[in-house]
Amino acid sequence: MTLDDLRKFDLRDVDVRTAGEWPPAGKVVAIALLGLLILAAGYYFVVSKTLDDLESRRQAEQQLRQQFVFKYRQAVNLDAYREQMKQLKESFATMRRQLPDSNEIANLLAEITQAGLGRGLEFKLFQPGEAKPAGFYAELPINIEVTGSYHQLAEFASDVAGFPRIVTLHDLSLTPVGKGSDLLIMRGMAKTYQYVEEDKP
C-alpha cells in the first residue's frame, strides 16, 4: 500500500469479510485497533472495577486498623477501668447511704429542728415542700426562717453541714431584727435528697 493508496483510502470501502485479502499493513492496523478496543474494554469492565474495589477495601482496612487501635487501648487499660469502676461503685454506694430513704425523712426534719433549738435559735418558719424528682434521687426543699445571734446561726449552719445525711443550705439572707438588737433573721432554704429506687421489671 503506497502513500497515494492511503490518501484514497475510505473506511466505507473496508469489507471485513475480505480481511484475509488485505495487505499486511492493513492487517497490522486492524489488529492494533482491535487490540486497543480489547484493552479499553478490559480496563473499563475489569480493571476499573477492580481498582474501585481495591480502594474500598483500603478504606475498610483503615477503619479496621483504627478500631483495632481503639480496642487495643481499651484492652491494655482494662484492669485500670475495672479498678476505676469499682471505686465509682463504692463512692456511689457511700453517697447513696447519705441519702435518707422515705422512712428517715421525718427523723431528719426533726434533727434539723433540734440542731436549731440546741443552738438557741427560734424558728419562725419551717415548711417542708413537695419532693422534686431529679434522676435517681428526689430533692426535698424546706423553707426556713430562724432568729438568733450571728454565732448561733453560724453554729447551726455548721451543725447541718456535719449531718451524716446530706443537707444543703441555699439562698440564705441575714437581716437585723431591729435597731438596738444583736439578733438576726436568717431566711433561706434547706434541701435534703432522697434516693429513689429504680423501677424493677
Instruction: Supply the pLDDT for residue 153.
Output: 92
HEC letters along 134-191: ECCEEEEEEEEEEEECHHHHHHHHHHHHCCCCCEEEEEEEEEECCCCCCCEEEEEEEE
pLDDT at 100 over 80: no
Mean pLDDT calculated for residue range 108-131: 87
Three-state DSSP state, 71: helix
Could you tell me the residue ranges of all domains in the chain? 1-76, 99-195
| Highest mean pLDDT (candidates 7-16, 78-87, 103-112, 128-137) | 78-87
Confidence bin at 200 (pLDDT 50/70/90) = very low
Instruction: Supply the pLDDT for residue 179.
Output: 81
User: What Rg do the C-alpha atoms of the chain give, in angstroms?
Assistant: 45
Mean pLDDT calculated for residue range 127-144: 84
- 186 pairs with which residues across the strands? 146, 174
Confidence bin at 149 (pLDDT 50/70/90) = very high
The mean pLDDT of the chain is 79
All residues at 6 or more sequence positions from 131 whose CB lies less than 8 Å from its CB, including other chains: 138, 139, 140, 194
Rounded to 5 degrees, what are φ and ψ at 133?
-65, 140
Look at 10 and 179; give whichever has higher pLDDT: 179
Mean pLDDT calculated for residue range 151-161: 91
Q: Enter the pTM of the model.
A: 0.49
Q: Which of 6-10, 186-190, 194-198 has the lowest mean pLDDT?
A: 6-10
Mean pLDDT calculated for residue range 65-74: 87
Q: Which of 31-35, 53-57, 98-102 has the lowest mean pLDDT?
A: 98-102
Q: What superfamily in CATH does domain 99-195 come from?
A: Ribosomal protein S6/Translation elongation factor EF1B (3.30.70.60)
The secondary element (H helix, E strand) that includes residue 64 is helix 48-76
Instruction: Supply the pLDDT for residue 16.
Output: 62
CA 89 vs CA 12, 84, 85, 94, 110: distances in Å: 89, 9, 6, 9, 31
Tens-place pLDDT, residues 35-60: 888 888 777 777 777 777 888 888 88
Q: Which of 13-27, 103-117, 132-146, 179-193 has the lowest mean pLDDT?
A: 13-27
Mean pLDDT calculated for residue range 6-25: 60
First to last CA, the chain: 94
